[in-house]
């Protein structure tokens, strides 16, 4: 992959996941996809404990991942910038978690702009030897990690503060990493960025209640949005601060919590196991193909969604579907559920693009063609392949994409077997 400016980083490989166990002997190694395998312990049960959050926010070991319009601030495409509290204190007052959630909700005033700040978890893989003393809270010890939105927004004062911060960072060589995906970061940083981007994007899109349309308030350290029963802003209009009843306050509401949209992605084997079905969308560069993918619909199982998508897009009817691995995909809030599937009747292999015009082409490729592509034809979309790539051969996504992992597994003797699968 010599000609690529930013080679693929290694994939995450947490040791405890790959340790020997009864399940690993039966089902093989777990595939940990890029954007997964985060080093953070999210400590989700501490998100309402403001004494903990107050201690964490300006702890010397705390780090802040900064996103401007959802692009991470970086020193280079392989190094995310980790701000310390001193860097961001103009945007994040040390008192930000002083009040309890009940008080914050009771005193809610939608005219006051607050920073979009999310507690992501503590990094337990850091060690004291590397610098600052880590934070100890009860039995938990690590480096607290937050995400902060540094897009220019809010009132004029907040915009000016943000501009100053961005200018200072720019002078130090810290700039937004503008990219369709950000898969050149080291895997640990990629996983933290994925969490940060998904939460900040969701907070941005949910400033108003999806049920009653009134302004919402960030609670649970940035992981929930409440629709407070009162808003002091209303008194400025000589109205009662009381807001109309809203069901999000009285029932379990998925409008208050971030959502994850499940998507299937599948490598399909022919009846004889000697070919793989791949497709290309109109936006792909020449010779590029990938696995088929699509959203899971309401009231649909993963396996049913796989069979529906492959039939709709390629006219191929599948039999058995197995789930291989998954990949968080924070653009904006997907979970890619990776499957491998097989056709059981040669008559079902006939490709038809007549149902859904989504794909420009779908094609069966031999294992040999796929092996050659995995060797010499992979790169990020639109980036050049290896110098040994022969123009006209198949091109495939890089190993950081779950599509690549599924294709590898589908032709792997260890994963799908040899004699049994490829008759």
Candidates 41, 48, 110, 211: give the one binding Zn ion (CB under 5 A): 211
Which range in 44-52, 205-213, 265-273, 278-286 contacts Zn ion by CB under 5 A?
A: 205-213
Residue closer to Zn ion (CB basis): 66 or 227? 227
Q: How far is CA 395 from the centre of its chain?
A: 24
What minimum distance in Å lies between the beta carbon of 97 and Zn ion? 24
Residue closer to Zn ion (CB basis): 226 or 385? 226
Give the burial string for 13-46 (b: 16+ CB within 10 Å, else e).
ebeeeeeeeeeeeeeeeebbbbbbbbbbbebeeb
What minimum distance in Å lies between the beta carbon of 227 and Zn ion? 3
CA distances from 347 to 59, 344, 387 (A): 64, 9, 39
What minimum distance in Å lies between the beta carbon of 252 and Zn ion? 14
Candidates 209, 292, 406, 416: give the one binding Zn ion (CB under 5 A): 209
What minimum distance in Å lies between the beta carbon of 301 and Zn ion? 32
Residue closer to Zn ion (CB basis): 186 or 229? 229
What minimum distance in Å lies between the beta carbon of 341 and Zn ion? 42
Residue 212 binds Zn ion, judged by CB under 5 A: yes
What minimum distance in Å lies between the beta carbon of 209 and Zn ion? 3
Residue 409 binds Zn ion, judged by CB under 5 A: no
Residue closer to Zn ion (CB basis): 195 or 206? 206
Q: Which residue blocks in 128-172 are alpha helix, DSSP H?
A: 156-171
Tally of CA atoms within 13 A in the half-sphere of 329 that contains its CB: 20
Q: From CA 242, how far away is CA 212, in angstroms rounded?
A: 13
Q: From CA 423, how far away is CA 421, in angstroms rounded?
A: 6
Residue 46 binds Zn ion, judged by CB under 5 A: no
Helix (H, G, I), strand (E, B) or coil at 72: strand
What minimum distance in Å lies between the beta carbon of 54 and Zn ion? 28
Residue closer to Zn ion (CB basis): 226 or 269? 226
Q: From CA 62, how far away is CA 126, in angstroms rounded?
A: 11
Name the CA radius of gyration of the chain, rounded: 24
Q: From CA 53, how far away is CA 221, in angstroms rounded?
A: 8
Residue closer to Zn ion (CB basis): 147 or 227? 227
Cis peptide before 83 (omega within 30 of 0): no
Q: How many residues bind Zn ion (CB under 5 A)?
A: 6
Kindly identify the residues of this chain, within the stretch 297-316, that bind Zn ion according to CB under 5 A.
none
Residue closer to Zn ion (CB basis): 29 or 111? 111
- 236 C-beta neighbours (distance < 10 Å), count: 11
Q: How far is CA 284 from the centre of its chain?
A: 22
Greatest Cα pair distance, the chain, in angstroms, is: 79
* Contacts of residue 145, Cβ cutoff 8 Å, sequence gap at least 6: 40, 62, 63, 64, 65, 119, 120, 121, 122, 123, 192
Q: How far is CA 244 from the centre of its chain?
A: 35
Q: From CA 287, how far away is CA 304, in angstroms rounded?
A: 29
Kindly identify the residues of this chain, within the stretch 224-253, that bind Zn ion according to CB under 5 A.
227, 246, 248
Residue closer to Zn ion (CB basis): 55 or 212? 212
What minimum distance in Å lies between the beta carbon of 116 and Zn ion? 19
Residue closer to Zn ion (CB basis): 175 or 211? 211
Kindly identify the residues of this chain, within the stretch 131-190, that bind Zn ion according to CB under 5 A.
none
Q: From CA 367, how far away is CA 32, in angstroms rounded?
A: 24
Which range in 10-18, 178-186, 204-212, 330-338 contacts Zn ion by CB under 5 A?
A: 204-212
Nearest to 318 by CA among 289, 293, 340: 340
Residue closer to Zn ion (CB basis): 206 or 248? 248
Q: From CA 317, how far away is CA 349, in angstroms rounded?
A: 7
What minimum distance in Å lies between the beta carbon of 283 and Zn ion? 38
Which range in 223-231, 309-317, 362-370, 372-380 contacts Zn ion by CB under 5 A?
A: 223-231
What minimum distance in Å lies between the beta carbon of 208 and Zn ion? 8
Q: Which residues bind Zn ion (CB under 5 A)?
A: 209, 211-212, 227, 246, 248
């Amino acid at each position: 992959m010599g000609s690529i400016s930013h080679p693929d980083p290694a994939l995450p490989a947490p040791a405890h996941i790959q340790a020997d166990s009864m399940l690993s002997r039966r089902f093989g190694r777990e595939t940990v996809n890029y954007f997964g395998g985060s080093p953070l312990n999210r400590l989700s049960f501490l998100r309402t404990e403001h004494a903990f959050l107050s201690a964490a926010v300006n702890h010397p070991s705390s780090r802040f991942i900064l996103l401007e319009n959802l692009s991470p601030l970086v020193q280079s495409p392989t190094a995310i910038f980790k701000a310390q509290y001193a860097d961001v204190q103009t945007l994040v007052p040390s008192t930000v978690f002083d009040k309890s959630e009940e008080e914050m909700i009771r005193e809610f005033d939608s005219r006051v702009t607050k920073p979009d700040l999310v507690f992501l978890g503590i990094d337990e893989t850091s060690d004291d030897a590397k610098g600052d003393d880590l934070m100890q809270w009860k039995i938990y010890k690590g480096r607290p990690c937050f995400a902060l939105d540094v897009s220019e927004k809010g009132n004029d004062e907040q915009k000016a503060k943000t501009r100053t911060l961005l200018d200072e960072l720019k002078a130090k060589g810290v700039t937004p990493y503008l990219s369709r995906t950000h898969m050149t970061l080291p895997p640990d940083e990629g996983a933290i960025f994925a969490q940060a981007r998904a939460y900040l994007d969701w907070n941005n899109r949910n400033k108003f209640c999806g049920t009653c349309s009134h302004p919402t308030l960030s609670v649970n350290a940035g992981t929930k949005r409440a629709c407070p029963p009162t808003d002091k802003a209303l008194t400025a209009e000589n109205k009662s601060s009381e807001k109309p009843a809203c069901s999000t306050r009285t029932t379990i509401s998925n409008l208050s919590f971030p959502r994850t949209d499940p998507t299937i992605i599948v490598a399909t084997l022919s009846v004889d196991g000697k070919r793989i079905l791949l497709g290309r969308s109109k936006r792909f560069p020449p010779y590029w193909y990938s696995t088929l993918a699509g959203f899971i619909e309401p009231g649909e199982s993963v396996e049913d969604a796989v069979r529906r998508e492959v039939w709709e897009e390629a006219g191929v009817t599948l039999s058995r579907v197995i789930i291989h691995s998954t990949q968080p995909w924070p653009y904006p809030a997907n979970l890619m559920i990776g499957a491998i599937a097989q056709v059981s009747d040669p008559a079902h292999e006939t490709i038809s693009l007549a149902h859904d015009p989504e794909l420009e082409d779908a094609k069966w490729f031999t294992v040999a063609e796929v092996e050659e592509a995995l060797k010499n034809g992979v790169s990020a979309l639109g980036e050049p392949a290896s110098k040994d790539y022969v123009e006209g051969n198949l091109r495939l996504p890089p190993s950081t994409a779950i599509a690549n992992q599924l294709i590898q597994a589908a032709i792997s003797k260890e994963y799908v077997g040899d004699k049994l699968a490829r008759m």
